[in-house]
Amino acid sequence: MHLHDINTLLNLQGVFITHITEPIENTVYITLEPTDLHQSCSICGNIYTIRHGKSKPRHVRHLNLFENYTILILQTIRLTCSECGLNFTWEYSFEKTKSKYTNAFKNKLVKSIDGGTVKHSVKNLNVPYTSGERFIKEALSTIIPIMQNQVLDTAINSSKLAIGIDDFVIRKGHTYNTGIYDLRNGALLTVVRGRKYDELITNKNLCEIVNIVSPFAVVMNLAKIYHNFVKEVFPTAIRIADCFHVNRYITDALHSIRKRVSKKLNTYQSKFLKQNKKLLERRNDSLTKAEQTLLERILQL
Ligand SMILES: [Zn+2]
């Protein structure tokens, strides 16, 4: 393959290949030169610059070439602007100055996170964890606001919008956060740090959302704080306690009665009740004949 063809394959603007090595320990080294002789000044735009020669070339990682790691060897050309006197080094459009990775490589890393973890992505692409995490965070800081606007637009334009509000635990049970969901379109609208009334009502991001959406219904657990908050910010919305939370309260109450009853029984009866306690939680129409008989025996204790 000619260098020209590899140049086309690489698809990097403003450079051409002067040398390419055989794979060395699964790595191909490609030496590049700019196609132009001069680069205009980034401050005054002057195209007349003075070249001062080259410093040590830089190694920049690029997308893999046929299963081989690719290292681009970029010339560090020193220039001075003849108008404003700015000293600068040659800038390549496909990478940020002094980065060890091309923009295309960083994009690949960011895309590879989809549905996985940072740890998994950096391992797959053989990148140090701290660098990989930094690139992903940088990319997310621009992607997240765009996505948030999209989900908000969808929520605003929904008819009969139903919002969900629920807490979830982080830091192994030490901290609670609150998630606000668009249940109609299956999207997370925002996350609030904490789950207290004051934390919700003073949260700037949540207040902005509350001002522009008008839900038909809000689904939540039985926490009084959430009911008070929703009553305050969405006075016309129907408040719905979701069935899972109601069910848990009923189950908890059922078992506290079972324990109270159990204390009055003899050892054999109490053991029998404990062994079959799951039957009390089941729907009656889902029980087999044998289970129904067992249940009747339990209820007669
Ligand atoms: Zn200049």
DSSP per residue, 157-188: T-TT-EEEEEEEEEGGGTEEEEEEEETTTTEE
Distance CA(197)–CA(112), nearest Å, equals 39
More confident site: 58 or 285: 58
The 3-state DSSP class for residue 298 equals helix
More confident site: 98 or 89: 89
Amino acid letter for position 107: N
Q: What is the DSSP string of 115-153?
A: TS-HHHHHHHHT--HHHHHHHHHHHHHHHHHHHHHHHHH
How many whole angstroms from 77 Cα to the centroid of ligand 1?
16
Mean pLDDT, residues 1-13 taken together: 76
Q: With beta carbons less than 8 A apart as the criterion, state whether 234 and 207 touch.
A: no
Q: What is the pLDDT of residue 10?
A: 78
Q: What's the pLDDT tens digit per position in 23-58?
A: 999 999 999 999 998 899 989 989 889 999 888 999
- Partners of 177 in beta bridges: 168, 193
199, burial (CB in 10 Å: exposed 0-12, middle 13-18, buried 19+): middle
* pLDDT at residue 280 greater than cutoff 70: yes
Using only the alpha carbons of the chain, give its radius of gyration. Answer: 32
Q: What is the pLDDT of residue 228?
A: 92
How many whole angstroms from 73 Cα to the centroid of ligand 1?
27
Every domain of the chain and the residues it spans: 3-100, 102-147, 162-241, 245-299
Q: Given pLDDT bands bounded at 50, 70 and 90, which one contains residue 3?
A: confident
How many whole angstroms from 47 Cα to the centroid of ligand 1?
8
Q: What is the DSSP string of 18-55?
A: EEEPPPBTTEEEEEEEESSS----TTT----EEEEEEE
Q: What is the pLDDT of residue 218?
A: 94
Phi, psi of 172 (to 5 degrees): 50, 45
What is the CATH code for 162-241? Answer: 3.30.420.10
Share of the chain above pLDDT 90, in %: 51
Q: Which helix (H) or strand (E) holds 57?
A: strand 49-65
102, burial (CB in 10 Å: exposed 0-12, middle 13-18, buried 19+): buried
Q: What is the pLDDT of residue 297?
A: 87
Q: Given pLDDT bands bounded at 50, 70 and 90, which one contains residue 298?
A: confident
Distance CA(202)–CA(207), nearest Å, equals 7
How many whole angstroms from 138 Cα to the centroid of ligand 1?
30
Distance CA(68)–CA(152), nearest Å, equals 43
Least confident of 114-118, 175-179, 229-233: 114-118
Amino acid letter for position 139: A
Does this model's pTM top 0.85? My answer is no
How many whole angstroms from 100 Cα to the centroid of ligand 1?
27
* pLDDT at residue 1 greater than cutoff 70: no
* pLDDT at residue 65 greater than cutoff 70: yes
The 3-state DSSP class for residue 17 equals strand
Q: What is the pLDDT of residue 185?
A: 92
Q: Write down the mean pLDDT value for the chain.
A: 89
Encoding tokens for residue 33? 């030169």
How many whole angstroms from 89 Cα to the centroid of ligand 1?
13
Distance CA(147)–CA(71), nearest Å, equals 34
Q: What is the pLDDT of residue 29?
A: 95
- Residue with structure tokens 């949540």? 206
Mean pLDDT, residues 252-274 taken together: 89
More confident site: 258 or 245: 258
Amino acid letter for position 132: G
Encoding tokens for residue 140? 């997310």
How many whole angstroms from 98 Cα to the centroid of ligand 1?
21
How many whole angstroms from 90 Cα to the centroid of ligand 1?
14
